[in-house]
Amino acid sequence: MAHPTSSVTAPHLAPSHLEPTVYDRHAPSWHRDAAAVAEAVFSKSSTSSAEHGHETLEPPPAARIDWMVDDLDHFLLSVGGRSRFVFRAALTTLVTLGPVTIGSLRPFASLSLADRVRALERLDQPLAGPAALCVFAVKTLMSFLWFEHPDTQVEAGLVRGAHR
Amino acid sequence: MSPTTPTAIPTRASHAGRVVRGAERQGDLVLGCDVVIIGTGAGGAIAAKVLAERGLDVICLEEGPHITAREHGAMRPSESLRHVWRDGGMTVAVGLGDTPVINVTMGKVVGGSSMVTGGVCLRPPEEVVSRWVHELGLGDLDLSHLDRHLSIVERLVGVEAVPPSMRSRAVQRFGEGLAKVGGELVSLERNTHGCQGESRCNFGCPHQAKLSVDLSVLPRAVDHGATIVSDALVEKIRLRGRRAVGVEGRLGRGHRFVVHADTVVLAAGAWHDPVVLARSGIRHPDLGRHMTLHPSFRMMARFDEPVRGWEGALQSAYSPSFMKDGHTMVALFVPPGVVAGAMPGIGPELALRTDALQHIAIMGGLLHDEGGGRVWPVPAALGREPVVTYRMAKADRARLPEAVRRMAEIYFEAGARECFSPVLGLGPITPERLKTIDFTKVPGRRYECTSQHPLGTCRMGTDPKRAVVSPEGRVWDVAGLWVADGSIVPTSLGVNPQITVMAMAHRVAERVADAVSSSRSRRPLDPAAAGSR
């Protein structure tokens, strides 16, 4: 799962007086679940393997996942308790129901990357009802942060050209 | 400190004309002034400026922090979201019946929601104002009267038309599609000066080009002696009998504050005005009801060519061509991460889509709703935030599928390869697939819906039994208590409300100033009242 990492990070640019007064990080299990979901959401097909007819999934760089989970932690500590509860409830729904949708009783974080992708895809279907809304909520906030990482911005061609 | 036994009331000279960060304050705070204003957004800022210029001692209380425009412009968008937006942008109205959950975004900062708008400043449509005058009896709101207030606030916040050169290729494609269906693309008017097309107006402009009220209005109020206290959450308005005599609440670190004032102007926004009034013991059958939201739905489209939607103004043009059908379409862009999050797929399928972000265009469709929202204050023990519900009117619900289909058709006319609708789980839509989809069969809960325009929860009217405030903006039956923000707007507007809210706040503030002046001229005859401060 280890991949080339980048030394580039997106620093906190907000003034220090806005930092949460108590920076009480979430529990490690919460970090593990968030990282497991993020890895699945942002995984890609491995091109080199596909050339040999064996398409495999490639997780994103581990350092970028770590950065995003840290930033997500900071984000949720900066916003109100109700938002924090809603997001964590949505994430818990995904990691609880996800394995069930693919007939597994293992914890979500211990599933293979392919199984995690499959599980989230099933929850993202209309028949999954409110779970689809949970996928949407978690994916949207994670994507918001993910695409602020300088490396992701370069890869997606988001670096701005000259101003008008 | 007992809130009823103030320990000190500083003189005007000791606190006037500055911004006090309530979160840094050590100890309780007791202040006195002529007028205390709750909220510093589009309504509160305008009221502060008008009243301070009239020579009144004004204190503005803001629940959120004080963040300078320079600090805001230096933030990443997600940092803006976590520090400037209420609840990190995750506030929702619960959909009742066949209504989607609606994500309602607001600012919680000095400058209020004007800090998180795209800057759009459109005047209220004539037919809307006509309805206020002829159906609701609000004769003083006709355009000939409102025009003066609109013109003043437009000059104040620097409203200008967005030049076509600030349209991204994505917006141009929207215009091309519109032309093919007989629609018209019109430049938006916005409160900007020196816009360089960073396309992040609602997340802080790096060049401070968006003239939100923190830049355009509040400095003028402060220049005239107004004081702004940030991180100051007002919990209730203090009443003596049926007269407002001040406010009380808590500062960022939990210290208490009291502000003594004979006049209170409430401008905490349509979401929170009913909460403050209810917790102050003010009851009215319509308090918190009739909320309109302009429920909005986005449509994304992928083109073969790169359209780089983030180049140019965030919101440069719109189409009023379908207003008669109850919806307005606006070209816009949102941070790429939000676009990516709304794309269908997980893992490789999502990556396939996000690799094409440069090819994605977005438009928003805004419904002119009839107002099915309600703010339900919760007991103080459960926190301050209310529960808000919204039941879409039948007519609005019927317009929704029509608007979504039309948005897709416009993009396909413009040459889009596929569209991504606001229907969760629907997947990409091709022109052929669009013909087979019956949007009227899609349940409301499957729509992804947002709103930036909560209005009308303390609406004004001529009948004290059916309106919370009088046509002048005064809370019926409570002396010295006024409301000056979007909550008094009597109906949905169908366009972005910022400039209407400012104009109505300007109108209310002039009446407040007149009332205070009138009361001051009588004060020497009433020594008991004079000694109560």
Q: How many other CB atoms are there within 10 angstroms of residue B163's CB atom?
A: 13
Range of the structural domain that residue A150 is part of:
26-155
Can you identify the CATH homologous superfamily of domain B18-66+211-282+458-528?
A: FAD/NAD(P)-binding domain (3.50.50.60)
Tell me how many domains chain A contains: 1
CA distance B261 to chain A (A): 30
* Closest chain B CA to residue A155: B355
Are residues A68 and A6 in contact, defined by beta-carbon separation less than 8 angstroms? no
Which residue from B505, B11, B6, B527 is spatially nearest to B270, judged by alpha carbons?
B505
| Angstrom distance (rounded) from CA B162 to CA B311 | 14
The answer to whether residue A50 sits within a structural domain is yes
Catalytic residue list of B? 453
Chain B interface test: which of A143, A146, A148, A151 (most B C-beta within 10 Å): A143
Given an 8 Å threshold on Cβ–Cβ distance, is A15 in contact with B385? no
The answer to whether residue A73 sits within a structural domain is yes
Which residue from B389, B387, B375, B390 is spatially nearest to B288, judged by alpha carbons?
B375
Give the residue ranges of DSSP H helices in B109-237. Answer: 126-134, 143-157, 169-180, 213-216, 218-223
Chain B interface test: which of A45, A73, A144, A153 (most B C-beta within 10 Å): A144
Q: How many residues does chain B have?
A: 533
Are residues B33 and B51 in contact, defined by beta-carbon separation less than 8 angstroms? no
Neighbouring C-alpha atoms within 13 Å toward the C-beta of B356 = 21
Given an 8 Å threshold on Cβ–Cβ distance, is B424 in contact with A133? yes
CB pairs under 8 A between A and B: 161
Neighbouring C-alpha atoms within 13 Å toward the C-beta of B156 = 26
CA distance B98 to chain A (A): 14
Q: What is the pLDDT along chain B (533 residues), one digit of tens a residue?
A: 443 333 344 434 444 568 899 999 889 999 999 999 999 999 999 999 999 999 999 999 999 999 999 999 999 999 999 999 999 999 999 999 999 999 999 999 999 999 999 999 999 999 999 999 999 999 889 888 999 999 999 999 999 999 999 999 999 999 999 999 999 999 999 999 999 988 889 999 999 999 999 999 999 999 999 999 999 999 999 999 999 999 999 998 889 999 999 999 999 999 999 999 999 999 999 999 999 999 999 999 999 999 999 888 999 999 999 999 999 999 998 888 889 888 999 999 999 999 899 999 999 999 999 989 999 999 888 888 999 999 999 999 999 999 999 999 999 999 999 999 999 888 899 999 999 999 999 999 899 999 999 999 999 999 999 999 999 999 998 999 999 999 999 999 999 999 999 999 999 999 999 999 988 776 554 444 444 43
The answer to whether residue A96 sits within a structural domain is yes
The answer to whether residue A42 sits within a structural domain is yes
Q: How many other CB atoms are there within 10 angstroms of residue B10's CB atom?
A: 14
Supply the ipTM of this predicted assembly: 0.87
| Angstrom distance (rounded) from CA B346 to CA B328 | 32
Q: Which residues from chain A sit within 8 angstroms of residue B350, using beta carbons?
A: 41-42, 139
Are residues B340 and B468 in contact, defined by beta-carbon separation less than 8 angstroms? no
Given an 8 Å threshold on Cβ–Cβ distance, is A158 in contact with B71? no
Among the partner-chain residues A87, A143, A157, the one whose CB lies closest to the CB of B340 is A143
| Angstrom distance (rounded) from CA A15 to CA B239 | 38
The answer to whether residue A31 sits within a structural domain is yes
* Closest chain B CA to residue A162: B311
Q: Which residues from chain B sit within 8 angstroms of residue A146, using beta carbons?
A: 337, 340
CA distance A88 to chain B (A): 12
Among the partner-chain residues A79, A140, A146, the one whose CB lies closest to the CB of B82 is A79
CA distance A89 to chain B (A): 13
Amino acid type, B183: G
Among the partner-chain residues B75, B166, B357, the one whose CB lies closest to the CB of A156 is B357
| Domain positions in chain B | 18-66+211-282+458-528, 73-108+160-206+293-451
Given an 8 Å threshold on Cβ–Cβ distance, is A142 in contact with B341? yes
Neighbouring C-alpha atoms within 13 Å toward the C-beta of B70 = 0
Fold agreement (B18-66+211-282+458-528, B73-108+160-206+293-451):
no
CA distance B101 to chain A (A): 9
Pick the CATH number of B73-108+160-206+293-451 from 3.30.70, 1.10.101, 1.20.58, 3.30.560: 3.30.560
* Closest chain A CA to residue B195: A164
Q: Which residues from chain B sit within 8 angstroms of residue A157, using beta carbons?
A: 306, 357-358
The answer to whether residue A9 sits within a structural domain is no
